[in-house]
């Protein structure tokens, strides 16, 4: 009995959830096309993909959702019932009627939430954790928001991650201009769960 460890310690040691990745066959099933068609789309650069070490095609969830929407395919139930992961990098929610704990709880009903104290720590873990969405505060002093968003959107390792920002009204336009898919004022933080659900195709 002396060797048993507390449950809280075991819970902390769980490996991070793997990002949602689909095979070429799954994408073919979603689109109701032949597997060769998906390979053709990938070879022609029509759908964002990557290859495993064994050269098998893999498609990240966000890229599949974007492809299906862009080409008028219905979003399959298997995709919309998933629980995407959100990296929440907010130190506080100044100017919002919600507390940070309340926001995390609301997000937790539809998403797997990983909380970070600030943007710089979350950014350092993005490639390892591979969240489907990254939410950070525009007023975080550790990062220059527009440059950070632009860098995330141009790097192939992170370009597929949906970026959302919360902050003062005057920073929202530059946030969108740099590539953030969602840019909300802090007072509109209550809208974040529904905005993320719409963008990530979560029912």
Do 173 and 154 lie in one domain? The reply is: yes
Do 139 and 47 lie in one domain? The reply is: no
pTM above 0.85, yes or no: no
Q: Which domain holds residue 148?
A: 85-199
pLDDT tens-digit profile, the chain (203 residues): 444 444 443 334 344 444 578 999 999 999 999 999 999 999 999 999 988 888 899 999 999 999 999 999 999 988 888 889 999 998 777 777 788 899 999 999 999 999 998 899 999 999 888 899 999 998 888 889 999 999 999 998 899 999 999 988 888 999 999 999 999 998 899 999 999 999 999 98
Q: Is residue 169 within 8 Å of residue 59, measured between CB atoms? A: no
Do 40 and 131 lie in one domain? The reply is: no
- d(CA 112, CA 177) in angstroms, rounded, equals 28
Do 70 and 100 lie in one domain? The reply is: no
> How many CB atoms lie under 10 A from the CB of residue 65?
23
Do 119 and 182 lie in one domain? The reply is: yes
CATH of the domain at 31: 1.10.1660.10
184 part of a folded domain: yes
DSSP 50: E
- Residue of 183, 186, 145, 195 whose CA lies nearest to 168: 186
Do 107 and 193 lie in one domain? The reply is: yes
CATH of the domain at 124: 3.40.50.2300
């Amino acid at each position: 009995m002396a060797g048993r460890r507390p449950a809280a310690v075991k819970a902390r040691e769980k490996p991070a959830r793997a990002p949602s990745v689909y095979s070429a066959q799954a994408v073919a099933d979603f689109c109701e096309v032949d597997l060769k068609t998906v390979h053709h789309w990938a070879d022609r650069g029509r759908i964002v993909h990557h290859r495993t070490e064994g050269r098998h095609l893999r498609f990240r969830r966000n890229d599949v959702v974007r492809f299906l929407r862009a080409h008028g395919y219905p979003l399959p139930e298997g995709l919309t019932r998933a629980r995407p992961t959100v990296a929440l990098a907010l130190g506080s929610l100044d100017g919002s009627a919600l507390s940070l704990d309340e926001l995390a709880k609301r997000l937790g009903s539809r998403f797997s939430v990983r909380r970070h104290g600030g943007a710089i720590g979350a950014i350092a873990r993005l490639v390892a954790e591979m969240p489907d969405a990254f939410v950070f505060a525009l007023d975080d002093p550790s990062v220059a928001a527009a440059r950070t968003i632009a860098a995330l959107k141009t790097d192939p390792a992170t370009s597929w991650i949906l970026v959302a920002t919360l902050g003062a009204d005057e920073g929202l336009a530059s946030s969108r201009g740099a590539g953030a898919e969602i840019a909300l004022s802090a007072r509109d933080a209550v809208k974040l769960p529904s905005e993320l659900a719409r963008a990530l195709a979560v029912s």
